Amino acid sequence: MAATRREFGTLVAAAGAAVAMPAVWRSAHGQGAPIRIGTTISKTGALSATKSTLTGLELWRDDVNKAGGLLGRPVELVTYDDQSAVAQIPSLFSKLVDIDKVDVLVSPYGAGLSAPLMPFIKQRDLFTIGMFALAGNDATRHDKFFHSAPWGPDSKINWARGFFDVAKQNGCSRIAVLSADVEFAKTAAGGAEQIAAEYGMTVVYKQSYPPATNDFSSILRNIKAQTPDAVFVCSYPPDSTALVRGLSEVGIGDSVKLFGGAMVGTQYASLLTSLGPALNGIVSFALYAPEPTMANTEMTAFLSRYEKVAAEQGLDPLGFYIPPFAYVAGQLIAAAVTGAGSLDKAAMAKVLHETEVKTIAGPARFNAIGDWTERRVLMVQFRDIKGKDVEQFRQPGRQVILDPPSLRSGELVAPLAKARSS
C-alpha cells in the first residue's frame, strides 16, 4: 500500500517530534531538576554513632530549599548506608556518580572510609566535600576537595598542636605519649613526637596499646614512674573511658600538669554523661564548645533545631561535634554553586579557593588542597562537672577553651591532681 504525499508528510512530522521529544523533555527537566548531592552514611556498623551527619545535611537541605534552592533548583540528598565498611565505598560512590548522576559528593565519615574514595574523585575530577577525613587529601592533592572540619593545614601533624602550645605555655618539658594501636591514634602520636621535638620537649615515655583495653593500671604506673609534665593521649571511646577511670583508681602522680589531647569520645554526650565528674581536669580536643568566646547565633540556632531531631531519632543529644560540620559541608556546596552560577566543577572549586565562606562554624578559607587555612581545633579543659546531667555540658565554664588563643576562654588549671579535686 503506497502512502500519499500528505500521509508521508504527517509521518515524517510525527517521527521528528518523537525524536526531538526526549531532548526537549530533558532540557525542560534540567531547568527545574533537583541538584543532587550524594554521600554514604554509616547507619550501621562500628561507625554508626556518626549517622548524625545525615541530620546536619538534612537540616541544611531544608533551609536551602525553603529559601528557593540553588540556582532556582531544589536540592536533593542521595544517600546509602556504607555499613561502616571500607569495602562498600568504591561501589556505592560509583553508583552515586554513574547511576544516580549526583552533581556533588560529600565523603563518608573519617579518613579511613574516605581513603578509597580519593583516587576515584581525582580520576573523575569530582567536586567533593570531606567529612572529618583528617589529612585525607594530603597524598591525593585533588584541587576540588574541601574539608568541612577546621583541621587546618598539614593536619596530620598539626591538628593537635594546641595541646603542645598549652604545654609549652605551662612550662612542660617532659612528655609521655600514649596511643591506641589504630591508624588515627598512631598518626596523631607520630605528629605529637614531631611537635615535641620542635618545641624542645623530651618524650620520656612512649607506649601504644591494643584497642578496647579496659585496664590501664600498669600503663599509668609506668607513666607515673617517669614523672612527665604532660601526657598526650590518643585514645578511642572505650579506652578513653578506661583511662579516665584509671586516673581515679590508681592515679598518675603529682608531676602531671596536662593530661589528654586526642581522646576520642569526649566529644559525645554518651561518654560525657557516663564519666561525669571523673572528667574534671582532663584536656581534650573539640570543634565546638558553648563558651562565650564561641558565641554565635547561627550555631546556637542550629544546635537548638538539631536537639529536637536528636531527641526523636535517638542521636547524640549534644551534637557539638559532627552535625554542625555536616551543615557546614552544605554551606560550602551552596557557596560554591551560587558563586559559580553553575554546576561547573572547576568554577565551583575556584570560588572556594578564592573567597571566604561564612559558615555557622565561622569564616572558612581554603588552601590549594582544601584544608582550612586557619586551624580551629579547640583544646578544652573539663571543669566543674557535677553529676551526670547532660544539660550542664550546654553551659559555659564546663569545657573551658585553652587553645587557640583567639577563642581562649580560660587558663589551664594545673597540676592535674588539683584540677581533678577542684
Alpha-carbon gap, residue 196 to 198, rounded angstroms: 5
Question: Mask of contacts with other proteins, 366-395, x by CB under 8 A?
Answer: ----------------------x-------
Alpha-carbon gap, residue 13 to 377, rounded angstroms: 66
Is 123 near other proteins (CB under 8 A)?
no
Preceding peptide of 415 cis, ω within 30°:
yes
Choose one: 21-29, 154-162, 310-318, 392-400; the region binding other proteins (CB under 8 A). 310-318
Among 95, 124, 168, 221, binds other proteins (CB under 8 A): 221
Q: 194 or 274: whose CB is closer to other proteins?
A: 274
Among 10, 217, 338, 422, binds other proteins (CB under 8 A): 217
Q: 113 or 401: whose CB is closer to other proteins?
A: 113
Question: At its nearest, how many Å lie between other proteins and the CB of residue 254?
Answer: 17
The Cα-based distances of 338 to 29, 34, 56, 64, 223 in angstroms read 20, 15, 20, 12, 54
Among 98, 198, 215, 254, binds other proteins (CB under 8 A): 215
Tell me, rounded to whole angstroms, the distance of Cα 61 from its chain centroid.
18
Among 173, 227, 274, 355, binds other proteins (CB under 8 A): 274
Is 237 near other proteins (CB under 8 A)?
yes
Q: 125 or 249: whose CB is closer to other proteins?
A: 249
Q: 207 or 406: whose CB is closer to other proteins?
A: 207
Question: At its nearest, how many Å lie between other proteins and the CB of residue 240?
Answer: 9
- Position of cell 602522680? 253
Task: Select from 289, 244, 304 the least CA-distant residue to 271.
Answer: 244
Is 300 near other proteins (CB under 8 A)?
no
Is 202 near other proteins (CB under 8 A)?
no
Is 295 near other proteins (CB under 8 A)?
no
**Burial code of 258-279, b = ≥16 C-beta within 10 A, e = fewer?**
bbbbbbbbbbbbebbbbbeebb
Preceding peptide of 404 cis, ω within 30°:
yes
Is 209 near other proteins (CB under 8 A)?
yes
Is 420 near other proteins (CB under 8 A)?
no
Question: At its nearest, how many Å lie between other proteins and the CB of residue 326?
Answer: 17
Question: Mask of contacts with other proteins, 32-71, x by CB under 8 A?
Answer: ------------xxxxxx-x--------------------
Alpha-carbon gap, residue 192 to 189, rounded angstroms: 5
- Whether 100 contacts 122, CB under 8 Å: no
For 69: left if phi > 0, alpha if psi spans -120 to 50, otherwise beta; the answer is left
- Whether 341 contacts 319, CB under 8 Å: no
Among 10, 214, 338, 406, binds other proteins (CB under 8 A): 214
Question: At its nearest, how many Å lie between other proteins and the CB of residue 305?
Answer: 20
Q: 201 or 219: whose CB is closer to other proteins?
A: 219
The Cα-based distances of 315 to 44, 55, 153, 307 in angstroms read 13, 9, 31, 9
- Name the β-bridge partners of 176: 205, 231
Tell me, rounded to whole angstroms, the distance of Cα 74 from its chain centroid.
26
Is 87 near other proteins (CB under 8 A)?
no
Choose one: 61-69, 192-200, 203-211, 287-295; the region binding other proteins (CB under 8 A). 203-211
Among 212, 301, 311, 368, binds other proteins (CB under 8 A): 212
Is 245 near other proteins (CB under 8 A)?
yes
> How, if at all, do strands 283-286 and 378-382 pair?
antiparallel
Question: At its nearest, how many Å lie between other proteins and the CB of residue 365?
Answer: 34
Residues 161-200 that bind other proteins (CB under 8 A): 181
Q: Which three cell numbers stand for residue 143?
A: 584541587
Cα four-point dihedral sign 334, 340, 344, 347: negative
Question: At its nearest, how many Å lie between other proteins and the CB of residue 363?
Answer: 32
The Cα-based distances of 259 to 134, 268, 321, 324, 405 in angstroms read 22, 19, 21, 27, 19
Size of the site for other proteins (CB under 8 A): 42
Q: 146 or 209: whose CB is closer to other proteins?
A: 209
Residues that bind other proteins (CB under 8 A): 44-49, 51, 181, 207-215, 217-219, 221-222, 225, 237-238, 241-242, 245-246, 248-250, 265, 268, 270-271, 274, 278, 314-316, 388
